[in-house]
Amino acid sequence: MTEKLLDIFLGEAQELIVEIEKAVLLLEQNQQDEHGISAIFRAMHTLKGSSGMFGFEAVSGITHHLESIYQDIRDGARAMDANVLAITLKTLDHLRNLMQDPHLGDAGVRANHEQLLTAILSLEDAHTSHHTANNTAPASANTAQQRSYYIYILPHPAILRNGTNILYLVDDLLALGEGTALPFFHQIPELAAIAPDTSYMGFEVVLATTKKEEDIQEVFMFVESDCDITIKSLADGNILSAIGKHEQIQNRDVAAALGYEGIKALAAHPKKKISKADKARSAGINNAASIRVSSERLDDLMNLVSELVTTQARLSLFSGENDSTELSNISENIEKITRRLRDNAFTMSLVPLESIVVRFQRLVSDLSKELHKDIEFTAVGMDTKIDKSIIEKLTDPLLHILRNSIDHGIENPEERKRRNKSPKGKLQLRSYYSGGNVIIEIADDGAGIDLTKVKEKAIAKGLIDGHAALSEKELTDLIFLPGFSTASVITGVSGRGVGMDVVRRNVSDIRGEIDIATRAGEGTTFIIKLPLTLSILDGLLVKIGDTDFILPLTSVAKCYEVKTAALESSFNQLIQLDEKRLPFFFLRNDFAITDHKPELSQVILVSYDGQQVGLVFDRIEGEYQAVLKPLGEFYQRQNEFSGATILGNGNVALVLDPNKLIGKLIDHYKNQQRYEYAG
Amino acid sequence: MSKTIVVIDDSESIRELVGLTLESAGYSVEKGIDGKDALRLFDNREVNLVITDLNMPHIDGIALIREIRKMEAYSMVPILVLTTESQAAKKEEAKAAGATGWIVKPFVAEKLLAVVQKVIR
Amino acid sequence: MSTQAETLNSFLSFRLDDELFAANVGKVLEILEIPKITKVPRSPEYMRGVVNLRGNVLPVIDTRTKFGLPPTSDTVNSCILVLSIASAGKNITLGAVVDAVQEVMEIDNSAIQAVPSMGTRYKSEFIDGMVKLNDQFIMLLNLDLVFTSEEVFVLEEAAGSKN
């Protein structure tokens, strides 16, 4: 503790003592002066608090008891009397001494202290109210016995409104030992009714720990009144291995909790232990708790569910138009069931990431040998499940990032030793659910990205202006620009041709987002955020003329209303928005739609290869959760439309892939220009 | 970018001690002496955590929490209150007003940081 | 229709302009009135667009354009034949707009004549044969090929009919 802080404390204590003294003197004139009483209480309280913090225990001890007396007086639980005031004054004199001799080194001071304390305690005892002494937490003598617990957490919907982050609770729980957290949804409303500050999620945690139940409870100390919490012992020892890979867990339905009994049952009937080599084969083993269904029948089910979703949307549209309470009740009910059915069906088509990890392990071991790096590769959370079609398209970008981390991120053993790091580099692939998304992180503890070099390179390549003041985030994002060869910039090792721009495009093709967190000397983490499924898309419903389009919300940056005439008369396809000149596409022309031209058009900014491009529509109808349907073979070449969806009114809306659309339009105009120049 | 923590306490020593502890752990700290001061400190800046005393002149801790929760931008920011053991009822009152958790005085630096870690990462 | 669908020799005849065609009923899933069609921008002229077929997206081909006939607007008789055709080993479902559906008829194998190599504006591989009915020829279409090929009609004639 610094001298300065101590001085501040002593000065403040002095002031507080004077303050109390003044109030006591006033109270001697008028014992009922409420201001005086609460002033003493508050000052006493502050003095108690700060003296405790600064190691003046004698001060905090004595002020604690006196404060209690004043609190009772303030709360009307006891009456002020001359005796209290007299003792208070005596205490103040004593406190001044204590400030010089906090640890009662002087025998006189100590005697005085004990005498005063007895006097104050007798004052307290004379009164019925007795404040309990400090909690003495039982020292948890840990026997290293592991136990498995079932912990059920259902936060009340309003929990987020007091600043609680539920995921931290789960984190803290898992930090107590080894465990697995199973999220489930609870009473999730219709999309439009979802409030960002309301919690719809709960967790079931199976935790194997040597800690005591009190330690688990302590995690919830702040939220006991905001959550339904159940902590139950499942079994002695660690049962995670028994249930972690259990099919019931793997193919779990996130719409409902499994329950204590459910988990217990899983633990009681564990799948037989299988070695890693056997794992691949085990997919074929039939388990009593699950049945195998052909993917065609699953597709059929999905189609029926989609039909139901569409029909249900019509029903709610109809019920909205007809003022019948009963109808709207039924409609709402069907909507809820449909939603659950849909979530249920969709989770069935998800597969765990585990299926691709083997390829990564190979790559890491081959590449680290080739590049003479010593790398420990771990994969965590590979039981996270995601749409099969996403996994297929995820492999390439993940391989690329891993290669990047091994090649340019993690230093060679000598270099690492020089930097006081363990010669063995760490590379971790991590996956977990976050809301309706799956997050995949690739973290290395390598050199990190040198942002100064990134900037220099970007300037040299003409990608940015030399004077541009860029934030750290903007600087890291430069890596994703086409034409930015990351390799030579970051480490001086030659690059491999494919840039991070391709990785980002691949990720955005499956409607994901990619981010980088990097610290010089400490490492880099790539964070990929993916939708759980490609069959459902959160979109913006927009119109041109009579045609409905859906734009994925993830690609929408901003919307502006602009006069249609101004857009049409622009000869260079650039528009001034927020002091920036941005290229735009007047889609009416590109789509050859001529009906119902509006006076005002909507320019929607989407990001394309790191820059913003405007797409012009007539109207924005609102957000829409679309069930994606393929357009089929006949529209293979129109891949700027990733599919279609059926709206509540039965019309078909086309789902746009902005990246592909813009790419195609740019090519189109380039060719046209070439043609025009040639002619 | 380091997280910003607003520390409100009418005791300068506690304020400085808490501030120093947090700053040495890498947080940026803004300090205020009471609720009124706190509200002025907010002024649309990004705040990741508020640590406030309860007994304060003018706007007290409970009233401050209610005010913070009323502001849309801060309706979900974590708030920790500084309490003492004698104030069990106060904890509940603070929670009801919208506090996220509490730190019991007196505390040592490790304890303070541990509690802060519980609510922001 | 389902019982007749079993019979290989049942055909559904339909009209395009003033020409008559017939499709094996085994390939025809149903006949629809024309609903609202959503045109997919930047797609070929003969692709009318997509429609909602009970919650699924059905691509719809403008058969007139596909066959190189002059475009007209739809009439009360216009309808969509929902067809199941084989393409590269897969069955795909599509809709084909026709001017009018005539009738379902039984055709005896012996009544089917070979297609003359000259005198028809359609490439011969798309026509399985012809039958004569009430002094008019009905062309029996090879649906699998017709709707999966880029060019159905002979180009010279198409150019002639467009001008």
Contact B75 A172 (CB under 8 A): no
Nearest CB to B13; choose among A9, A134, A221: A9
Residue B8: CATH number of its domain: 3.40.50.2300
For residue range C74-120, list pLDDT tens digits in order: 898 999 999 998 877 778 899 999 999 988 888 887 888 887 766 66
A140-159: average pLDDT: 76
For residue range A553-562, list pLDDT tens digits in order: 888 888 999 9
Which pLDDT score, from 0 to 100, does residue A172 have? 86
pLDDT reading at A639 higher than 70: yes
pTM of the model: 0.48
For residue range B14-35, list pLDDT tens digits in order: 888 898 889 888 888 999 888 8
C27-37: average pLDDT: 92
Which pLDDT score, from 0 to 100, does residue A304 have? 81
The residue with greater pLDDT, A498 or A294, is A294
- Chain A residues within an 8 Å CB radius of C38: 547-548, 644, 651-654
Contact A162 B98 (CB under 8 A): yes
pLDDT reading at A289 higher than 60: no
Please count the residue pairs, one from chain A and one from chain B, whose beta carbons lie less than 8 angstroms apart: 101
Q: What is the pLDDT along chain B (121 residues), one digit of tens a residue?
A: 578 999 999 888 888 889 888 988 888 899 988 888 888 888 777 889 999 988 887 788 889 999 888 888 888 899 999 887 656 778 888 888 889 988 888 777 888 888 898 888 8
Q: Which amino acid is at C104?
A: V
Please report which confidence band the pLDDT of residue A547 belongs to, taking 50, 70 and 90 as the band edges.
Answer: very high
Contacts of A10 (CB under 8 A, 6+ apart): A99
Please report which confidence band the pLDDT of residue A245 belongs to, taking 50, 70 and 90 as the band edges.
Answer: low
Which pLDDT score, from 0 to 100, does residue A546 have? 92
Closest CA to A386 of A513, A253, A536, A534: A534
Any idea where the domains of chain C sit in the sequence? 4-161
Which pLDDT score, from 0 to 100, does residue A493 have? 35
What's chain C's average pLDDT? 82
Q: Is C55 helix (H, G, I), strand (E, B) or coil?
A: coil
Contact B119 A222 (CB under 8 A): yes
Nearest CB to A635; choose among C43, C54, C55: C43
Q: Is A102 on the interface with B (CB under 8 A)?
A: no
- The total of other beta-carbon atoms located within 10 Å of residue A76's CB is 7
Interface of C to A at Cβ within 8 Å reads: 35-36, 38-43, 47, 49-52, 54-57, 59, 61, 87, 92, 94
A86-108: average pLDDT: 88
Contact C55 A306 (CB under 8 A): yes
Tokens 């976050």, residue? A434
pLDDT reading at A486 higher than 50: no
pLDDT reading at A62 higher than 70: yes
Nearest CB to C55; choose among A310, A643, A664: A310
A142-152: average pLDDT: 76
For residue range A512-545, list pLDDT tens digits in order: 889 998 888 889 999 998 887 777 787 899 999 9
Q: Is A270 on the interface with B (CB under 8 A)?
A: no
Which pLDDT score, from 0 to 100, does residue A8 have? 83
A142-164: average pLDDT: 80
Which of A635, A655, A656 is most worth mutating to test chain C (most C CB atoms within 10 A of its CB)? A635
pLDDT reading at A480 higher than 70: yes
Contacts of C83 (CB under 8 A, 6+ apart): C23, C27, C28, C29, C93, C94, C95, C96, C143, C147
Share of chain C above pLDDT 70, in %: 85
Domain C4-161 has CATH 2.40.50.180: yes
| Residue numbers of the domain that contains B89 | 4-119
Contacts of A256 (CB under 8 A, 6+ apart): A184, A185
Q: Range with the lowest mean pLDDT among A152-161, A273-282, A650-659, B99-108?
A: A273-282
Domain count, chain B: 1
pLDDT reading at A488 higher than 70: no
Chain-centre distance of CA A119, in angstroms?
55
CA atoms of A248 and A263, how far apart (whole Å):
9
Closest CA to A392 of A501, A506, A245: A506
- Chain C residues within an 8 Å CB radius of A306: 55-56
Name the neighbours of A, counting chains with at least 3 Cβ pairs within 8 A. Answer: B, C
